[in-house]
Amino acid sequence: MFAIVEIGGKQYKVQEKDRIVVEKLTLDEGKSYNDAKILLVSDGKDTMVGAPYVSGAKVECKVLKQGKGEKLRVYKMVAKKRERKLRGHRQELTELEVTKVAAK
């Protein structure tokens, strides 16, 4: 059984025991997360598509760890002015493990 969920404005295809990395959620490690919006649930034979969300479907996740992604370098240069800026950015991320996918 798999589901397509929306977490933080992005969509992810998940199954039980999958690990996904999403943008930072304000939860402690080890806590559960049940607020995902389910867009589609399928068990191989039957498929339930939401309009926009599937009511009665549930995806349970467990927070594994909080962390940061790889560093991105942003370089800006103004031509003919000798003006240069180098900035870095690391996105804060949360790793989730899907523990249960269920539909009514």
Per-residue pLDDT tens over the stretch 11-50: 999 999 999 999 999 999 999 999 999 999 999 999 999 9
For the beta carbon of residue 17, count every other beta carbon within 10 angstroms.
10
CA atoms of 66 and 32, how far apart (whole Å): 13
> Quick one: tokens of 80?
């003919």
6-17 residue pLDDT tens = 999 999 999 999
What percentage of residues in the chain have a pLDDT greater than 70? 100
